[in-house]
A and B are shown apart, each in its own frame.
Chain A
Amino acid sequence: MRAGGVISRAKHSPALIAGTVITSVLVAMFLLAPVIARYSPDQQNLLATFQGPSAAHWLGTDDLGRDVWSRLLYAGRTDIEVGVGAVIIPFLLGSLLGTVSGYFGGWVDAVVMRVVDIVLAFPFYVLIIALVFVVGEGTRGIFIAFAITDWVVYARIVRAATLVAREQDWVAAAYGGGLKHSRVLFRHILPNTITQAIVYVMSDIVLVILAVVTLGYLGLGIQPPSPDWGSMIDSGQSFITTHPWLSTVPGITVVVTGLGLSLVGDGLADVLRPQ
């Protein structure tokens, strides 16, 4: 695949362009939280609770008088950091196991694929919740839970791609040239199979951020005082009839973030798909 072709196709993918714009604006806002947030996210003011939007508090204040706009930005920072961080180990582990499984086949393949079947038998949220419960709530628990559960999809995707690549002429030619397994794998197979895993990373980050927010809502995720969209929605739910924005605003932010990342993933899939 020529790089020039990919770039020119990227310029013509509305999904990729829109997704990149939305995602960059949001990420920039979250990273600049210390600059554009006007209060500390956990600075309470019990004399100014439940205020509506105003010049001082753009999105009002919550039940403890904390500035919702500031909390929203800092929460975005934590949730995206944890979401992206939690995908790294599954991506590496799944790609490695998928490659080995697809390339060598035999009993290695049989074992890896049986383990994949077993992990997939558990409803995703049930296993994540059970794991976070046993290893301990919070960021560390989230990382461990995803490392155990989330590699399976990568393993499946990369294994399938490796099976296809293994049969290609250029791989046969590489063997014919007398190359070693490791060289064939890393120079001729991996560069082709990993693209599909990379395309999936974007959708996976969306799934993982949703899961992190969900765990936060259940009180099992990112622990206070760190602000997180899930716990913001949870604490706002008690005041849903009188102050609905406390729950709706963080939810809308999650949706927009997810939309941006999904558009990037969709666009990437179009652009990187072999023509």
Chain B
Amino acid sequence: MRTGTRYALRRIAMSLPVIFGVVVLTFLLLRLVPGNPAQTLLGIHASPSAVAALQRQLGLDEPIYRQFWHYFDGLLHGYTGMSIYYQVSTSSLIGERIGLTAALVGVSALFTVVITVPIAAFAAARKNRAPDHAARVVSLVGLGLPSFWFGIVLILIFSVKLGWFPVGGWGTTPLQHLRALVLPGITAAIGICPVLIRSLRAGMLEVIESDFVAVARAKGIRGSRVLFVHVVRNALIPTVTLLGINIAYLIGGTVVIEQVFDLNGLGNLMLTSIDNRDFPVVQGVTLVYAIAVVAINVLTDLVSVRLDPRVHLE
């Protein structure tokens, strides 16, 4: 077997215990509900027979190890539970919504790179001078910026005042979908840009101070060309790695951003199911989010190995 394939398989195998842990934790969520979970979910006015029926549906009348086995066995067969509110399988609800959220995450990852790389490169190239200080202040301001509020401000400026983008919603044609994702994508990106700019600037400084950049300069190559050809290219690997590390935070941010922009994705499903006190859906969505993060982390690891021959396949 080729070393690359072997590495990929090993990396996937390494993530299996984490996925198992994720399943255990989402299983335990229901145990954290105070009192009798069925009663709490239905409210104090629910009839005893309704409570008993829900207890049966949630499997609460069995011993805990059997409950876990049913949950785990179901997942292995692709069954994530039954929605209390909609009375359909949670996986069909998740399937309807996951595409929008995936598109939103993709668009925001793109915006993250587009915003982060130039600012970090500029700051690193002008270390300890005005642009560097400006980038530091901007990222410090960004650290305390509630992204949902930033989204509201963007709507106010670009949708209400200028009318460039829809105020919310998803539209019907692919072009409308794309337009609908611009502002939410920027909003989600802003949530992780400050952290990324700071780390990437540090990574780029390392490259700038390395020998091959000094050689490129000594050969008389123009400063901007050195920056974009030699430095940025070598800084792409840490960008991919950093994006992988921070993707969980980015994805978590989209839950709230979908709410701001009225997008019917997974986050919206999670929040409406909380309103409906529909526990199985909340549980299923939580699980899907976590597994997506694990999968993306494996993927970014594999990509950075391919990008960087220096990363050893060990």
Residues of A whose CB lies within 8 Å of any CB of B are 114-115, 117-131, 133-136, 144, 203, 206, 209-210, 213-214, 217-218, 220, 230, 233, 237, 240-241, 244, 247-248, 250-251, 254-259, 261-263, 266
Contacts and interface: CB of A to CB of B under 8 A. Distances in A.
Interface residues on B, range: 35 or more
Interface of B: 17-19, 21-22, 24-25, 29-30, 32-34, 136, 140-141, 143-146, 148-150, 152-153, 155-156, 160, 248-253, 255-256, 259, 270-271, 274, 279, 282-283, 285-286, 289-290, 293-294, 297
B256 A123 contact: no
11 contacts: A114-B17, A126-B252, A127-B252, A130-B286, A203-B143, A241-B160, A254-B144, A254-B145, A255-B144, A258-B141, A259-B144
Chain B CB within 10 Å, residue with most, of A134, A135, A261, A266: A134
A262 B195 CA distance: 12
Given A122-B248, A122-B289, A240-B160, A258 B144 contact: yes
Given A133-B274, A134-B33, A135-B34, A214 B256 contact: yes
Contact of B152 (A114, A124, A144, A240): A240
SS of A interface (majority): helix
Per CB-CB distance, the 3 closest pairs between chain A and chain B, nearest first, are A258-B144, A123-B252, A125-B252
Contacts of B33: 134-135
Contacts, number: 148
A122 B293 contact: yes
B248 A254 contact: no
A250 B33 CA distance: 32
Contacts of A233: 146, 148-149, 152
Contacts of B156: 240-241, 244, 248
A262 B140 contact: yes
B160 A126 contact: no
B143 A262 contact: yes
Contacts of A125: 249, 252-253, 255-256
B144 A114 contact: no
